Amino acid sequence: MIAYALRRLMLIPLTLLGIMLVNFAVVQFAPGGPVELMISKLQGTNVDAAARISGAGGETAAPKVARANSNQGNQGAYRGAQGLDPTFIKEIERQFGFDKPAHERFLQMLGQYIRFDFGKSFYRDVSVVGLVMEKMPVSISLGLWSTLIIYLVSIPLGIHKARHDGSTLDIATSWAVIIGYAVPGFLFAIALIVVFAGGQYLAWFPLRGLTSSGMEGASLGARALDYAWHLALPVTALVVGGFASLTMLTKNSFLEEINKQYVVTARAKGLSESRVLYGHIFRNAMLLIVAGFPRALVGILFTGSVLVEIIFSLDGIGLLGFEAVSNRDYPVMFGTLYAFSLLGLVLNLVSDLTYHWVDPRIDFEGRGG
């Protein structure tokens, strides 16, 4: 497995290069880049309005606007109906780094990312790493608690359904988890707000944020309760659709193992049903579930909470990514893409190694993996 792990590690840089190259190429053909967005904001506005727009590198647009106006001898507002000064447009291109050819920008970006230098946001005077670290606690809270609840409920429920396959409870819970899976998470989140967050009926839970105002000086227990109170609805909206796949996967895995010969032999030896289930079946049946945990956690952390964060006004990674795409904030877009792609590739390797750790009979190297 060591040779297999080393080969996979060597493939990670090439895979990252392919991911970044494809996404960079797609962005080049997408209409409405940051330069166009800035120009559209400046069209028909005066100097003071333009000066409030921050530029890359921490410098605001004010000195650039002033220089462009002085070059044209314009003492007032921009001539929005007649277009902006070409010199000023070139200044905006330089500000965002678009004064260089695409291949040079791509190579420069790769050189920075190899050193984990993701630069600064186009529209906020803060580094991409600092911005991500600022938003990360919210996404970690949602992802961690929703993943733990899904696993703590789905695995025992799946085992129970396998032991009582075909029973009334098995059929009823199957319908419940399938209906929950069919309902979109954002739609369920809206329903929770309408019913429980003061929408039309009850006002039991807060509508936004993860903390209440004035909790800074409260005791640890009070802050923990307030934190759980704010998390209740967002986490519920995330987990309601996550039970189905894991529950049915657990049930099917146990059903497959229950009918195998080694289980029949264990029962013939007079072992109790619990000993057979947890001493023999559990390890083999839990292989897929345990090995898939790292991948499931990352999926919920970084892809599953975008709409929930927006609906509940939670300032996390999902909302940050949505705003970066909307504003064409390329440093944030590509920086987070690079970091999370690298994390995903590493965790894919961890998942494979976990398979081998749970069941040493699985040998990816022996299969030419």
Query: Count of residues for the chain?
Result: 369
DSSP state of 206: -
Q: What is the pLDDT of residues 244-267, one digit of tens each?
A: 878 888 888 888 888 788 888 878
Give domain status of residue 355, yes or no: no
The closest of 160, 351, 148 to 250, measured between CA atoms, is 160
Q: Which of 121, 152, 171 is the last residue of a domain?
A: 121
How does the average pLDDT of the chain come out, rounded? 75
80 and 199, same domain (yes or no): no
Q: Is residue 191 part of a domain?
A: yes
pLDDT digits (tens, 9 = 90+) for 3-60: 777 888 888 889 989 998 998 888 877 777 776 777 676 664 433 333 433 333 344 4
Q: How many Cβ atoms sit within 10 Å of the Cβ of residue 267? A: 14
Using the 3D structure, point to which of 75, 103, 121 is the last residue of a domain: 121
At 239 the pLDDT is: 85
Confidence class of residue 300 from pLDDT cuts 50, 70 and 90?
A: low
Indicate if 113 and 135 belong to the same structural domain.
Answer: no
Q: Are residues 165 and 228 in the same domain?
A: yes
Q: Are residues 214 and 315 in the same domain?
A: yes
For the whole model, what pTM was predicted? 0.69
What's the CATH number where 292 sits? 1.10.3720.10
- What residue numbers bound the domain in which 74 lies? 33-121
pLDDT band of residue 359 (cuts 50, 70, 90) is low
Asked whether residue 282 is assigned to any structural domain, the reply reads yes
Query: Does 237 have pLDDT greater than 60?
Result: yes
Does the pLDDT at position 84 exceed 80? no
Q: How far apart, in whole angstroms, are the C-alpha atoms of residue 340 and residue 300?
A: 12
Do residue 155 and residue 78 come from a single domain? no
Cα–Cα distances in angstroms (integers) from residue 81 to residues 45, 47, 84, in the given order: 10, 15, 9
pLDDT at 180 over 70: yes
Residue 273 lies in a domain: yes
The highest-confidence range among 80-84, 155-159, 220-224, by mean pLDDT, is 155-159
What confidence score (pLDDT) does residue 82 get? 41
Higher pLDDT, 70 or 321: 321
Per-residue pLDDT tens for 201-216? 788 888 777 777 777 7
Residue 297 sits in the same domain as residue 321: yes
Asked whether residue 187 falls in the same domain as residue 307, the answer is yes
Residue 38 sits in the same domain as residue 83: yes
Contacts of 342 (CB under 8 A, 6+ apart): 12, 16
How many domains does one find in the chain? 2
In a domain, 14, yes or no: no
| Residue partners of 129: CB distance under 8 A and separation at least 6 | 116, 118, 335
